[in-house]
Amino acid sequence: MINPAISAKKRQPAAHGGGVRGDNSVPRSSQFEGRFGRMFRSLPSAEWPKEALLNLANAMTSPPEHLETDPKVPTAAFEDLTKRIHDDEENAGIAAGYTYLGQFIDHDITFDPASSLQQQNDPDALIDFRTPRLDLDSLYGRGPGDQPFMYVGKKFRLGRELKENKTDSAARDLPRFNDPINPGPKRALIGDKRNDENAIVAQLHASMLQFHNKLVDKHPDDSFERIQQRVRWHYQWVVVNDFLKTVCGAEVVEDILPDFGKKKPIWKLKPNLSIFKWRNDPFMPIEFSAAAYRFGHSMVRPIYRLNTKLDGGDAAQATEVERKRGLAGRFFIFAGVQKRGLNGFDEFPEQWAIDWKLFFDIDGSINKIGIERVQPAYKIDTSLVNPLGFLPEFSKAPTPLIPPLSVEQLQSKPLDPKHPNVDPSNLAKRNLLRGLAMGLPSGQTVAISMGLDPIEDKDLRVGKAVLSDLAGNPTLTSFDKDSNSFKENAPLWYYVLAEAQVEWGKRATAPGSKGNEEPLRLGTVGGRIVAETLIGLIWGDRHSYLRQAPNWRPDTIRGMGDLIQFARS
pLDDT over 50 (residue 23): no
**Does residue 175 lie within any of the structural domains?**
yes
The pLDDT of residue 13 is 32
**Does residue 299 lie within any of the structural domains?**
yes
Phi-psi sector, 28: left (phi>0), alpha (psi -120 to 50), beta = left
The pLDDT of residue 279 is 86
Instruction: Round to whole Å and give the CA distance between 108 and 112.
Output: 12
The pLDDT of residue 70 is 84
**Does residue 484 lie within any of the structural domains?**
no
The helix (H) or strand (E) run that includes residue 100 is: helix 97-109
**Does residue 342 lie within any of the structural domains?**
yes
CB contact at 8 A, 137 and 130: yes
Q: Give the number of domains in the chain.
A: 1
Give the pairing of strands 330-332 and 303-305. Answer: antiparallel
pLDDT over 90 percentage in the chain: 71
Q: Which pLDDT tens digit goes with each residue over 528-539? A: 999 999 999 999
**Does residue 54 lie within any of the structural domains?**
no
Instruction: Round to whole Å and give the CA distance between 361 and 373.
Output: 9
Tell me which DSSP letter residue 475 carries. B
Instruction: Round to whole Å and give the CA distance between 351 and 329.
Output: 11
Instruction: Round to whole Å and give the CA distance between 37 and 162.
Output: 42
Helix, strand or coil, per DSSP, at residue 296: helix
pLDDT over 90 (residue 521): yes
Cα dist from 567 to 204, 227, 413, 537, whole Å? 11, 14, 38, 26
pLDDT over 90 (residue 393): no
pLDDT over 50 (residue 116): no
- Mean pLDDT, residues 268-295: 94
Binning pLDDT at 50, 70 and 90, where does residue 431 land? very high
Q: Which pLDDT tens digit goes with each residue over 242-263? A: 999 999 999 999 999 999 988 8
Taking the whole predicted model, whether its pTM rises above 0.95 is answered as no
487/63: higher pLDDT = 487
Can you give the residue range of the structural domain that contains 334?
A: 64-426+522-569
- HSE-up (13 A, CA, CB side) for residue 133: 16
**Does residue 463 lie within any of the structural domains?**
no
Q: Which pLDDT tens digit goes with each residue over 179-205? A: 888 888 999 999 999 999 999 999 999
Residue 404 preceded by cis peptide, ω within 30: yes
Binning pLDDT at 50, 70 and 90, where does residue 112 land? very low
Within 10 angstroms of residue 502's Cβ, the number of other Cβ atoms is: 20
Mean pLDDT rounded to a whole number for the chain: 88
CA angle 526, 527, 531 (to 5 degrees): 120
pLDDT over 80 (residue 150): yes
Backbone angles phi and psi of 546, in degrees to 5:
-65, -30
The pLDDT of residue 405 is 82
pLDDT over 90 (residue 108): yes
CB contact at 8 A, 322 and 75: no
The H helix count followed by the E strand count for the chain is 18, 12
The pLDDT of residue 263 is 86
The pLDDT of residue 89 is 97
- Mean pLDDT, residues 299-327: 82
Instruction: Round to whole Å and give the CA distance between 89 and 96.
Output: 12
**Does residue 499 lie within any of the structural domains?**
no
The pLDDT of residue 411 is 86
Binning pLDDT at 50, 70 and 90, where does residue 113 land? very low
The pLDDT of residue 35 is 78
pLDDT over 90 (residue 101): yes
pLDDT over 50 (residue 21): no
Helix, strand or coil, per DSSP, at residue 454: coil
pLDDT over 90 (residue 27): no
Q: Which pLDDT tens digit goes with each residue over 439-483? A: 999 999 999 999 999 999 999 999 999 999 999 999 999 999 999
pLDDT over 90 (residue 298): yes
Q: Which pLDDT tens digit goes with each residue over 28-65? A: 543 444 678 999 999 999 999 999 999 999 999 999 88
